[in-house]
Amino acid sequence: MSMHGEIRNAVGLIRERSIAPPSRRAVVAGWVAALSATAGFMPLHAIWGAGIPLFAEADRFEVWYADGGGGYLWTLNALAVLPAVLALALIRPWGLVFPRWAPWSAGRRVPRLLLVVPGYLLVLALGGYTILAMVLMVVQWDSPEAIFSPWTGIYGVAQFLVWITALAVAARSYDLRTRG
C-alpha cells in the first residue's frame, strides 16, 4: 500500500465517522506548536548542549555543564521531538488512523484520548513551567549567581507562550472533532 492508500483509508474513516477535517486555524496552530517545540526550542539548547556558553556566564556555565548540564540539555532536545509529533498528530490523518507501518495497530483508529489527554496535560505542564520561569527570571534578574542571561528567559517565556497557545488550539480542535 502506498502513502496515497493510507491517506485514502484515513479519509474514508473520517467520512465514515463524520470526523470533520481540522480547520485552517487548527492546522496553522498545529504547525506553529510543532515548530515552536523544535525550531523555537532546540537550537539554543543544542548550542548549550555542545558546551558553548552563548548568552551565559562562561565560568558558571562550565561548572554547571560539567556537573550534568550537558546531558540534561541533550535530553531536553531529544524530548522536544515528542510534543512536535503530538502537535502534528492532532492535525494530520495519522492522528486518526495508525499508519500502515505501525506494528499491531496499522489501519486502526487512534483512540482519541491517546492524543487528547497528552495534549491538554502538556498545555498545563508547559503553562506551569512558564509561570515558574517568569518567577525565577524576576527573582534572579541581577543575581551574580545566575548562569544564563535573563534575556534568554524573556525569549523562553515568549516562545513558550506561543507554543502553549498553539498546542491548546490544536488539542481543542482535535478534541471537538473526534467526540463521538
Distance CA(31)–CA(69), nearest Å, equals 30
- Average pLDDT (51-56) is 95
Mean pLDDT value of segment 160-174: 98
More confident residue, 55 or 180: 55
Listed by start position, the domains of the chain span: 3-17+24-41+80-178
Counted residue by residue, the chain has a size of 180
By the 8 A CB rule, do 119 and 170 touch? Answer: yes
Average pLDDT over residues 126-132: 97
User: Quick one: average pLDDT of 87-115?
Assistant: 95
Q: What is the number of helices (H) and of strands (E) in the chain?
A: 8, 0
What's the CA gap between 174 and 179, in Å, rounded? 9
